[in-house]
Structure 1
Amino acid sequence: MNGFLLWALVVGPILLAEGLLARYELLIYGAGWRTPASALPAGVPPARGAAADRPPGAYLVYLDGIGKRRARDSRDGGQLVKALLDGAPELRVLGQVQPYSPLADPLADRPVWTWLRRRAGLLLFLHNVMQIFVAADHRYLPLYNRAVGTQIATQLELAGYRAGSGIPVVLLSYSGGAQVATGAVDVLHTTLRCPLVLITLGGFHNGANDISRAEQLYQLTSTGDRIERVGTWLFPQRWRLVRGSGWNRARRAGKVTAVLFDGATHVGPRSYISPAAVLPDGRSHLDRTAETVIALIRAHRGAVADTLARDFRTPTFRSRMNPGADRG
């Protein structure tokens, strides 16, 4: 008991301070006292993958989980992004977005956090956890969505995206990144007028965001993912009885497709992105995840292309696209 009391006395005030400070950056953004950063650190390209001199098959924005601290890093050292680029060279991939910073300010680059990282690295993760709950709080949700949605749109434009081009934008999110991805839908649709596809990997989100403007959300999940299940229990908007939530409206509209990954866990040696955990067919969990994401993107693009080609053969569609086409 004494050990527990000591832990509570030490960690309790830290949790309280983080809960208060987590709102600070968002309020600065809302007040207009600071402009979100758009310049990237030296050596970080606007995107990787398909060359900028021709349209890519899709733009993919990777929104990592709570381990995201810099423009460069991700929880797996960049292995998932590398696997995606190796398997789908037609993609243009952005991994620099800071999902837990409304001001697009990398956490690890701030002097006070550099000091803390050497002495109490756990606080870096705690900060990002608190940011997820700020983003999910109905009082701050609209402002947070606008802040990070605008950041994503800015980075896409810097990477060569042109509004109204029709090139798909895929938001691939891990864990708490799903809260940011679902919240960015309206801003991206309005700003870039882009076809949007969401892919969540162990997605932890509150289910409140309206994702009706996304074409589809693919939910990559596992029965062994306890952290994702906590989100489905914790947030009432994820409960089936709350029929009016953004999540449940999307499910009824057929916009949510679940893909089950047997044997995967949220984190650890059997996580979705583990290169060490091996499936019966010899692939690693990392291979399965990368191949599934690529297959979903290509299949979705193919289905959309088939629909457009089929519709184009109808007189109504041709007349709508070219009002003078059927006039004689």
Structure 2
Amino acid sequence: MAEMSAAFWQLMSALGLILLGLLIWAAFSPFETLGWWAGWFGDKIYDDSIPPDGRVRAVPSDAHAYIIFLSGIGRVSGQTLSYRETDFLRRLAQVMPHAVVIDDVFPYSTNNLALTGQPFFGGLWRWALRRKLDGPALAGMIINVRNAFQVWVSVDHRYGPIYNQATAEVILHALLRYDYPMERDDVPVFVIGYSGAGQMAVGAMTYLREWLPGPLYTISLGGIFGSDPGLLATDHLFHFQGANDHALWLRHLGPGRWPIFPTSEYNRAKRQGRISYITTGPMGHTGRGGYLDAKSSLPDGTPLIDRTVELVANIVNGALEPSASPEEIAQRTMALAAGGEA
């Protein structure tokens, strides 16, 4: 009995230390943002200038739209997408030959610097990445927790405006690297935020709205986002939600999304018709059965990843129609998601 009691208290002590460590880590998370604002890291926005992967990152001479993909919280850089994310973007670029698909933006860094390239903790993240690739779940969780804290910084109304401006500058830098025509107002930009990057995409909208001349849309792919001023800046937010996506309950953690706060940015955007919910059917958040899974299929035999590509392409093509309103595009996309014709 005494041994069991001692083991119990050892376990509780270990859990207490872990919790204390997480709280300290959370408390220090805004320092990167404040350091960027103070100019400690300089003005450089990092990019590796990686060559096109087929149609991904290729710039056609007659580009009609720009699509920027922001990855989920499991990444350490803009060049370490999961194989499912890479497959999704290749398929999307294949069906959208006149769009520029950009995948090398890392939304969990104020200057697009990979975690593995950081001057102080780069060694830790290189170790975590190696361990994650070898299979241990704990190393992957360390990366996820770190990036999740950055999502919380983005949604925090004290530090979020600074972090979101940095994210917007990284996105603008990427657009200009891929020849976005700043002199034209008819080339729409679509920012796809997957999982936690839904907040990063929404948060950047306030600043991108000031800088970009053309239409600006947000596509939340199972995205987690709070009540952010960016919801009132984007022309429209299309939010994909799968019936099996159990991560979406996290939205309830943000008081600004509760109906008892009618003046929050989220509730105002809803009343203005700026947000459309697209139910994608029996899709989960990630992995097998997720939005980007090529091995699982809908009841009609369509692979989940192909349906997701189809829905995103339908939104982009709809926005290119001069007479189509966001509401009409959303209705068509909902019909397509339900198994009908767009």
TM-score by length of 2: 0.82
Secondary structure of the 1:96 match is strand
- Answer yes or no: is the 8 Å Cα contact 2:244–2:284 preserved in 1: yes
Matched, 1:82 2:102: no
Secondary structure of the 2:152 match is helix
Amino acid at match of 2:23: L
Per the alignment, residue 338 of structure 2 pairs with none
- Answer yes or no: is the 8 Å Cα contact 1:41–1:71 preserved in 2: no
Question: CA offsets, 1:278-311, max 9 Å, x none?
Answer: 1111111111101100011111221x3568xxxx
Per the alignment, residue 278 of structure 1 pairs with 297
CA distance in 2, matches of 1:33, 1:212: 31
Structure 1 segment 158-307 matched on structure 2, within 5 A: 158-166=177-185, 167-231=187-251, 233-302=252-321, 304-305=322-323
Amino acid at match of 1:176: G
- Answer yes or no: is the 8 Å Cα contact 1:50–1:91 preserved in 2: no
For residue 98 of structure 1, the aligned residue among 106, 124, 129 is 106
CA distance in 1, matches of 2:37, 2:53: 26
Question: CA offsets, 1:134-175, max 9 Å, x none?
Answer: 111111011011110111111111110122412000011111
For residue 123 of structure 2, the aligned residue among 77, 101, 111 is 111
Count of residues in correspondence between the two structures: 305
Change in Cα spacing, 1:36 to 1:44, as seen in structure 2 (3 Å) is farther
Question: CA offsets, 1:172-225, max 9 Å, x none?
Answer: 111111111111112112112221011101110112223223221111112322
CA distance in 2, matches of 1:204, 1:157: 27
Change in Cα spacing, 1:298 to 1:77, as seen in structure 2 (3 Å) is closer
- Answer yes or no: is the 8 Å Cα contact 1:58–1:168 preserved in 2: yes
- Answer yes or no: is the 8 Å Cα contact 2:220–2:239 preserved in 1: yes
Question: CA offsets, 1:4-33, max 9 Å, x none?
Answer: 425514522431342133222111101111
Identity of aligned residues (%): 28
Amino acid at match of 2:220: T
Question: CA offsets, 1:20-58, max 9 Å, x none?
Answer: 332221111011111354342253559954853523121
TM-score by length of 1: 0.86
Secondary structure of the 1:184 match is helix
CA distance in 2, matches of 1:286, 1:159: 26
CA distance in 2, matches of 1:170, 1:53: 17
Q: Which moved more, 1:268-277 or 1:127-136?
A: 268-277
- Answer yes or no: is the 8 Å Cα contact 1:206–1:237 preserved in 2: yes
Change in Cα spacing, 1:34 to 1:270, as seen in structure 2 (3 Å) is same
Unaligned residue ranges in structure 1 (runs of 5+): 308-328
CA distance in 1, matches of 2:70, 2:248: 16
Change in Cα spacing, 1:51 to 1:66, as seen in structure 2 (3 Å) is closer
CA distance in 2, matches of 1:168, 1:156: 11
Per the alignment, residue 318 of structure 1 pairs with none
Matched, 1:19 2:26: yes
